[in-house]
């Protein structure tokens, strides 16, 4: 196992064979009406790996069910507390069963049955205190780089993102893929204009067709909505069009062959490079595919990502519940202004102080160090952003995951 002199990775072994680099208690609210109680339960433990996730909707959605199940059984999660108001449609029974089947401790508090806010909070905190003590004493096992799943996303992009941070993340991805890890890039709405060069990297021609189709779907979806995946700040930072943003974003994928196309909640079956198709299937429903970066981060984590590489130019500060977010700052001016939030200064490349390969290796080693006890800046600052909204997907087709 490569250690690069940055410590040896240790993981928490789960019943499905996957290993976690964190041992988080997930507190999941099952409707917005239970959000406050969930947050109050978690507050005394905010420094102790207790993370709040949840679904705000009152009406059922298969995608949200699947996301919650994948997140509650993520390798970085050691125990789960579900918080229900009592009258929402979310199938709390099925979620609790699925979590219990993995061997994880799980408890559901129904606020209406427990006797209201105060009683639910007391009951929830008692469960967490007990679980936290057990999880803190849990043994770890050696973990290899090839067992990692790593996601990448960019947000608050500017004209520097595609020149420094994104290609540096791509170099790190190339190294991880070579070492047998699974790497996931995403946001088909930000690959508009890159679909043909991307398809040429597919492991099979049939997969290439699927990759192109996923971007065509995104272009249609955004055209119907009237906006691209492009925010006002992108223009401030020098990006003029979605195609320009796409070319920069595409660089995050590196240069490895593309192994497969997955959808939110699909776990890569083996190492390699995967495109995560985040744009819903069918006619346009429920609004924007991802209403902000945090929705994409949650989807990458639901696909099993142990850590997420987040490249920013304008300066995003977000982290996430469940998995650490590594902040790679593409813009040297932003880095100097927001250094406390940034793990990697990729703007050095623009200033001629470092090469792409050097920064790529730095990103790679930083991720490995997260499995040896290191914490990202966003973790140290307590960032645990999370959002989950309505979507609908069809399962992936047979061409999406060609056999090895």
What minimum distance in Å lies between the beta carbon of 76 and other proteins?
A: 34
Nearer to other proteins, 114 or 168 (CB): 168
Which residues neighbour 235 within 8 Å (Cβ) at sequence distance 6 or greater?
none
Nearer to other proteins, 79 or 328 (CB): 328
Q: Are β-strands 344-345 and 325-329 bridged in parallel, bridged antiparallel, or unpaired?
A: parallel
Please tell me the distance from the alpha carbon of residue 372 to that of residue 144, in angstroms, as a whole number: 11
Nearer to other proteins, 46 or 353 (CB): 353
Element (H, E) at 126: helix 117-136
Which residues neighbour 285 within 8 Å (Cβ) at sequence distance 6 or greater?
390, 392
Please tell me the distance from the alpha carbon of residue 170 to that of residue 148, in angstroms, as a whole number: 16
The four Cα atoms 329, 172, 310, 284 give a dihedral, to 10 degrees, of 130
Helix, strand or coil for residue 13?
A: strand
* C-beta neighbour count of 373 within 10 angstroms: 11
What minimum distance in Å lies between the beta carbon of 227 and other proteins?
A: 6
Nearer to other proteins, 121 or 249 (CB): 249
What minimum distance in Å lies between the beta carbon of 293 and other proteins?
A: 16
Nearer to other proteins, 173 or 230 (CB): 230
What minimum distance in Å lies between the beta carbon of 170 and other proteins?
A: 13
Which residues of the shown chain bind other proteins in the complex (CB under 8 A)? 158-163, 192-194, 197, 219, 222-223, 226-228, 230-244, 247-248, 313, 331-333, 350-351
What minimum distance in Å lies between the beta carbon of 165 and other proteins?
A: 11
Helix, strand or coil for residue 287?
A: coil
Please tell me the distance from the alpha carbon of residue 131 to that of residue 398, in angstroms, as a whole number: 41
- The strands making up 149-154's β-sheet, listed across from edge to edge, are 258-262, 272-276, 182-186, 149-154, 307-312, 325-329, 344-345
What minimum distance in Å lies between the beta carbon of 331 and other proteins?
A: 6
Handedness of CA 365, 367, 368, 374 (dihedral sign): positive
Nearer to other proteins, 45 or 288 (CB): 288
Nearer to other proteins, 241 or 292 (CB): 241
Please tell me the distance from the alpha carbon of residue 319 to that of residue 375, in angstroms, as a whole number: 12
What minimum distance in Å lies between the beta carbon of 338 and other proteins?
A: 14
């Amino acid at each position: 196992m490569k250690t690069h002199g940055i410590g040896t990775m240790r993981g928490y072994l789960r019943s499905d064979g996957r290993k976690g680099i964190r041992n988080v208690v997930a507190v999941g609210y099952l409707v917005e009406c239970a959000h406050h109680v969930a947050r109050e339960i978690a507050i005394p433990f905010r420094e102790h790996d207790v993370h709040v996730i949840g679904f705000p909707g009152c009406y059922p959605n298969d995608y949200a069910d699947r996301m919650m199940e994948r997140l509650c059984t993520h390798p970085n999660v050691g125990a789960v507390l579900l918080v229900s108001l009592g009258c929402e449609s979310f199938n709390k029974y099925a979620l609790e069963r699925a979590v219990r089947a993995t061997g994880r401790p799980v408890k559901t508090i129904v606020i209406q049955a427990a006797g209201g806010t105060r009683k639910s909070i007391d009951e929830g905190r008692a469960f967490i205190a007990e679980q936290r003590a057990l999880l803190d004493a849990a043994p770890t096992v050696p973990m290899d780089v090839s067992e990692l799943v790593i996601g990448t996303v960019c947000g608050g992009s500017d004209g520097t993102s595609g020149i420094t941070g994104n290609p540096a993340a791509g170099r790190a991805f190339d190294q991880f893929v070579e070492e047998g890890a699974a790497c996931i890039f995403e946001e088909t709405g930000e690959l508009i204009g890159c679909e043909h060069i991307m398809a040429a990297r597919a492991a099979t021609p049939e997969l290439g067709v699927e990759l192109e189709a996923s971007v065509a779907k995104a272009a249609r979806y955004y055209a119907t909505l009237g906006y691209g995946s492009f925010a006002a700040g992108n223009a401030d930072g020098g990006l003029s069009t979605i195609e320009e943003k796409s070319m920069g974003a595409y660089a995050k994928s590196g240069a490895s062959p593309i192994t497969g196309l997955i959808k939110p909640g699909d776990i890569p079956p083996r190492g390699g490079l995967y495109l995560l198709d985040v744009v819903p299937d069918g006619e346009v429903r429920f609004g924007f595919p991802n209403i902000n970066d945090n929705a994409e981060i949650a989807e990458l984590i639901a696909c099993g990502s142990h850590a997420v590489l987040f490249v920013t130019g304008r300066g995003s500060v977000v982290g996430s519940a469940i998995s650490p977010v590594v902040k790679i700052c593409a813009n040297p001016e932003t880095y100097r202004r927001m250094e406390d939030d940034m793990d990697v200064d990729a703007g050095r490349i623009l200033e001629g102080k470092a090469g792409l390969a050097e920064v790529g290796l730095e990103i790679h080693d930083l991720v490995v160090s997260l499995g040896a006890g290191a914490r990202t800046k966003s973790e140290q600052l307590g960032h645990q952003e999370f959002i989950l909204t309505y979507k609908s997907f069809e399962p992936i087709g047979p061409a999406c995951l060609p056999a090895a």
